[in-house]
Amino acid sequence: MGRVDGIEGKRDTAKAAVRLSVALKRLRSRLREESGVTSTGFTISQLALLDHLLKQGPLTAASLAAVEHVTQQAIAQSVAPLKAAGLITTGPHPTDGRKVLIDITPAGRRLFESLLESRETWLVRAIDATMSPKDRAALDVAVELLERLADADLSPEVVIR
Amino acid sequence: MGRVDGIEGKRDTAKAAVRLSVALKRLRSRLREESGVTSTGFTISQLALLDHLLKQGPLTAASLAAVEHVTQQAIAQSVAPLKAAGLITTGPHPTDGRKVLIDITPAGRRLFESLLESRETWLVRAIDATMSPKDRAALDVAVELLERLADADLSPEVVIR
DNA sequence: CGGATATCAGACCTACTGACATTG
DNA sequence: CCAATGTCAGTATGTCTGATATCC
């Protein structure tokens, strides 16, 4: 490949990075403005936790902190309300006494499932109102890209090329 | 209307909404973890302001608050550091004494331009490291979708179609 | 003891709500 | 006087850093 991935390509990447950052911030602000993506009384952080527990079974706070890219303390704060609400449980690790396993309860599953049904949130209506079926497909791809970036593993020396 | 846009379609939208919310949160956390999308010392909120000023000329705090979907106070907080750094200026509105026009300075333009060149930020490297040219195209589409959602205007009764 | 885990306490960052001064 | 704009003060949220207790 000639100069395709040269300086111009790089600049485009930087441009995309800035645009993505700004877009991320604006949508987040809008979601706050519309107060409540969820209407369940739980924050997105807490729902993200439920999401992980649902998909990947019982996990420790440390594991959750790693996958969510926050500190253990932040996880603990999300865990407390969820536990109080009976959506998750905490129990001892079978072999390692230091660890506490966090798991989702049937009630937690039900709440998460009901979220996937709730059609009254602002975001759901916004998607329905602004997107064609083709856009919807693109949105699914977009979510995958965001998740991939969130979990990107930039090994030691980034090979610039 | 048959059952095409019935419960199943809705449920998928709700699913997408939840997945998008969670993905948004995770990428944001990752960005924080990698401390600094920008490396300029300015926050994304502030860069978003520069972005708007660059594209849409002098604006009032109220206008900026509207497009950024935050309160005027939040705008004021972003404006202060930018003004102190000489990236923007504030001046009186020609006809309305209540208003204060905020405008970007040449220095502000230069800083924003340099951002579009900086290839060393985590996000830029993450994009380069994880995305094929095809993915990159999809990312551009993704940004457009996010921006469209952020600015979605859900008129009174949402017209599903 | 040292490494890992979890918790407690204090601080910060960003944005919000409420109250107020000024202008039109 | 009322509406709009902008500013000041106090508050809330989610997260972070630092210190401590516990377990392997």
- Strand C atom within 7 Å of B155 CB: no
pLDDT for residue B160: 47
Which chain A residues touch B127 with a CB distance below 8 Å?
13, 16-17, 149
Q: Give the residue on A whose Cα is nearest the Cα of B44.
A: A22
Put simply, the chain B residues between 73 and 92 with a CB less than 8 A from any chain A CB are none
Q: Is the CB of A74 under 7 A from strand D?
A: yes
- A121 and B45 within 8 Å at the Cβ level: the answer is no
Please, which pLDDT band fits residue A57 given cuts at 50, 70 and 90?
confident
Give the CA distances from residue B142 to residues A11, A142, B34, in Å, rounded to whole numbers and listed in that order.
18, 5, 22
Distance of CA B124 to the CA centre of its chain: 17
Average pLDDT over residues B30-42: 80
CB nearest to B115's CB, from A18, A135, A160: A18
Interatomic separation, CA of residue A99 and C1' of nucleotide C3, rounded (Å): 14
Sign (positive or negative) of CA dihedral A115, A120, A123, A129? positive
Query: Is the C-beta atom of A96 closer than 7 angstroms to strand D?
Result: yes
The residue-averaged pLDDT of A93-101 equals 94
Partners of residue A160 in chain B, C-beta under 8 Å: 119, 128
pLDDT, residue A10, reads 66
| B34: helix, strand or coil | coil
> Which positions 114-153 of A are in contact with B (Cβ < 8 Å)?
115-119, 121-131, 135-136, 138-143, 145-152
Mean pLDDT for B30-35 is: 88
Give the pLDDT mean for A8-33. 89
- A-B C-beta contacts closer than 8 Å: 234
Average pLDDT, chain B: 89
**Strand nucleotide closest to residue A68 (CA to C1'):** D15
pLDDT of residue A76: 96
pLDDT for A118 equals 84
Give distance CA A42 / C1' C18 (Å): 26
Asked if strand C comes closer than 7 Å to B70 Cβ, the answer is yes
Question: Does residue B9 carry a pLDDT above 70?
Answer: no
* Residue A4 pLDDT greater than 60, yes or no: no
**What is the average pLDDT across A118-123?**
87
- Bases of chain C below 7 A from a protein C-beta are 3-10, 13-18, 22-24
* Tokens coding A56: 């990947």
CB A18 to CB B149 under 8 A?
Answer: no
The mean per-residue pLDDT over the stretch B52-70 comes to 95
pLDDT score of A111 more than 70: yes
Q: Is the pLDDT of residue B2 over 60?
A: no
Q: How many CB atoms lie within 10 A of CB A58?
A: 16
The answer to whether the CB atoms of B123 and A17 lie below 8 A apart is yes
